[in-house]
Amino acid sequence: MATEVKIPAMGESISSGILAQWLVKDGDYVEKDQPIFELETDKITSEANAEVSGRISIKVQADEEVEIGQVVAEIDESASAGKKKEKSESAEDGSKADEASRSEASSGKTDHGESAEQAAEAEPEPNEPAGDTPAPLLPGREPTAHYALSPAARKAAEETGVDLGRIEGSGKDGRITKDDILKVAERGPSESREESAEDSPPAPARRAEDSRETRKKMSPLRRKIAERLVAATQEAALLTTFNEVDMSAVMQLRKQHQDKFVERYGIKLGFMSFFTKAVVHALQAVPAVNARIEGNEIVTQHFYDIGVAVGTDKGLMVPVIRDCERKSFAEIEQDILDYAKAAREGKIAISDLEGGVFTISNGGIYGSMLSTPIINYPQPAILGLHNIQQRPVVVDGQIVARPMMYLALSYDHRLIDGKEAVTFLLKVKEAIEDPSRLLFGV
């Protein structure tokens, strides 16, 4: 009996996606709950697991667009673990046969009854041409094996005629990419062998077909990010207000309590929990910023679910930390770590990205000095954090060096006036420069 592998439902707003890559090969035996492919949608990239155990037959290649509910593979449940074991035993018998063959060779006999010396005499002399001898297979590779290739890689393989069994894939889990195939094709058959002279300088890398440009299809997630950013600039009246904050107090607190914090909670005390608490403090003081526009109505929100932007290799994601006004610093730090890990591993859920009232984006971790972030529409505002730098400031009439950070608040001017935006930003600044305010709500 064969069980169909279908593209799972990802949420009401998602109807299709890209089958980003197979995590198994056609014909592999897969276990129940084993991850078998990655699906990339306009919101998230997630793994799909096998519902049953058996041998998988792939119907749709990687990089193809698929619909929710579409059949992309079948799993033959009749290919039980017993068959898998039988295959393993066969391989073991083969290994034993190889070992016996090597033993015979060491005793001076081949499997045809020839002596090793006679066999050597039949080989061509070193200075004679030996014909088009194929390059040695890479360990664990089989010639003419069926590899799970993307359409682009498969086309390149057909056009170049390169033997896939002699290519070491650079993709995830050793996956062979189009680039791998083209590089081997450019080197030619003689250079696919292992280098005999270790001191030979490597040939300079060349782009495919010496092209000055590379084209790559935009991923669904990147398309969605682009659409949302354009929509935000078209729908909202965006304005950015700046301020700067002295990080001395927060840095001193972290230094003073870091060891105890790690000892008790097993995680480090970072800056993001301070800023998350400071944003909640400012939202409570300036309720107009904790609102959104729906048609002709202004909806004021009385909860504090704060989005924290996380950069991944697929694009920017904004998981939402729920009920931040009730959570401790440790709980917020743990949530941020968990969401960031899930986002980068493609295991984050749609529900984790929905329902935020405000977003914090920390470009400072990449070295950003100053920026004007775009709101995560329909949220009304976003706080941009930047790099901490020692700068001269005047304190009590004296010029001193302090660790300073620029803050940028971008907001929808249709909803938030300048006075409210400036007040909000000052509340954040005061809470960071004097964290005791967060204890007393002043």
The structural domains of the chain, with segments of one domain joined by +, span 2-76, 124-195+205-215, 220-440
Please report, rounded to a whole number, the percentage of residues in the chain having pLDDT higher than 70.
Answer: 76
User: What are the φ/ψ torsions at residue 46 (nearest 5 degrees)?
Assistant: -135, 160
Q: What is the pLDDT of residue 157?
A: 79
Q: What is the pLDDT of residue 308?
A: 95
**Chain CA centroid to CA 424, Å:** 34
Q: What is the pLDDT of residues 180-239, one digit of tens each?
A: 777 777 665 544 444 434 444 555 555 555 678 888 877 777 777 888 889 888 889 999
Task: Determine if the peptide bond prior to 378 is cis (ω within 30°).
Answer: yes
Q: What is the pLDDT of residues 6-17, one digit of tens each?
A: 988 876 667 778
Q: What is the pLDDT of residue 389?
A: 96
Which residue shows structure tokens 């001395």? 248
117 versus 271: the higher-pLDDT residue is: 271
Q: Which has the minimum average pLDDT: 37-46, 363-372, 380-389?
A: 37-46
Cβ distance 294 to 301 under 8 Å? no
Please report, rounded to a whole number, the percentage of residues in the chain having pLDDT higher than 90.
Answer: 44
Q: What is the pLDDT of residues 249-262, one digit of tens each?
A: 999 999 999 999 99
Q: What is the pLDDT of residue 96?
A: 52
Please state, in angstroms and rounded to a whole number, the distance separating the CA atoms of residues 48 and 75. Answer: 14
Question: Is the per-residue pLDDT at 135 higher than 50?
Answer: no
| SS3 of residue 288 by DSSP | helix
Q: Which of 20, 44, 16, 8 is nearest to 217 (CA)?
A: 20
Architecture of the 2-76 domain: Beta Barrel (2.40)
Annotate 237-272 with DSSP letters as a single string.
-EEEEEEEEE-HHHHHHHHHHHHHHHHHHSS---SH
Question: Is the per-residue pLDDT at 310 higher than 50?
Answer: yes
Q: What is the pLDDT of residue 64?
A: 84
Mean pLDDT of 390-400: 94
Q: What is the pLDDT of residue 130?
A: 38
Mean pLDDT of 84-96: 49
- CA dist list (Å): 227 to 42, 224, 230, 320: 10, 5, 5, 20
Cβ distance 400 to 212 under 8 Å? no
Helices and strands (H and E) in the chain: how many: 10, 19
Mean pLDDT of 58-86: 79
| SS3 of residue 225 by DSSP | helix
Question: Is the per-residue pLDDT at 137 higher than 70?
Answer: no
In words, the CATH class of domain 124-195+205-215 is few secondary structures
Which residues make Cβ contacts (< 8 Å) with residue 115, sequence separation at least 6?
108, 109
Q: What is the pLDDT of residue 29?
A: 92
Annotate 128-175 with DSSP letters as a single string.
S---SPPPPPPTT--TT------HHHHHHHHHH---GGG----SGGGP
**Chain CA centroid to CA 42, Å:** 14
How does the average pLDDT of the chain come out, rounded?
Answer: 80
Q: What is the pLDDT of residue 107?
A: 45
Q: What is the CATH number of domain 220-440?
A: 3.30.559.10
Q: What is the pLDDT of residue 65?
A: 83
Question: Is the per-residue pLDDT at 113 higher than 70?
Answer: no
Q: What is the pLDDT of residue 198?
A: 46
Q: Tell me which residues are annotated as active site.
A: 413, 417
Question: Is the per-residue pLDDT at 374 higher than 90?
Answer: yes
Please state, in angstroms and rounded to a whole number, the distance separating the CA atoms of residues 197 and 25. Answer: 35
| SS3 of residue 207 by DSSP | coil
Q: What is the pLDDT of residue 207?
A: 53
Q: What is the pLDDT of residues 155-168, one digit of tens each?
A: 777 777 777 776 77
Question: Is the per-residue pLDDT at 40 higher than 60?
Answer: yes
Please state, in angstroms and rounded to a whole number, the distance separating the CA atoms of residues 364 and 210. Answer: 37
51 versus 344: the higher-pLDDT residue is: 51
Confidence tier at 45 by pLDDT (50, 70, 90): confident
Q: What is the pLDDT of residue 133?
A: 39
Question: Is the per-residue pLDDT at 88 higher than 60?
Answer: no
Q: What is the pLDDT of residue 79?
A: 77
179 versus 394: the higher-pLDDT residue is: 394
Confidence tier at 358 by pLDDT (50, 70, 90): very high
80 versus 133: the higher-pLDDT residue is: 80
